[in-house]
Structure 1
Amino acid sequence: MVTRIIAGPISDRMGRRKPIVLVAGLVMAASLVIPWVLPTASGVILMAAFLGIGFGAYQPGYTGKLQGMRRPGSRGCPATCDDVGA
């Protein structure tokens, strides 16, 4: 939740979504290496923390990108299904 609050305004100020989505994706991918390096319960908790940070930064950029792709004048938004988990 915290990274969503931080990453959303940053991508809005930058006016670009791809850099935020790319960095967040790299953080999520890197988090999957942690249990290999640290194969303990602490490693899994650390992985979950970094995965959450990455996903929290990824979601506002991804949602903004989806909204930018929709046709002008169309009703609804494809990001709604993503947010409600449909």
Structure 2
Amino acid sequence: MSAEPAWKPATQQPLSELLALQRKAFAANPMPTAGQRRQWLNTLRDLLSAEREALIAAISSDFSHRSADETLLAELMPCLMGIDDARKNLQKWMK
């Protein structure tokens, strides 16, 4: 098994910079609407679906040629189902 991940971001920011960006984003929009949240969830779901093959390949490489079906069942499907559940319950959870 490889200790090095197959995928690395183009830039690796120090955690302090990332935290500062997250705080700035929160300060700019501390109470996003249900519509905004739903759009973010839709965007995340679309991204996971669009990049499915690349994610499967990266995870396979990280786990020394892991089965694509196993990755779908163990990694991607739970994420997609969680997103669907969040979209379904969003209004109720925001009350």
TM-score normalised by structure 1 residue count: 0.38
Instruction: Considering fraction of residues, name the structure with more helix.
Output: 1
TM-score normalised by structure 2 residue count: 0.35
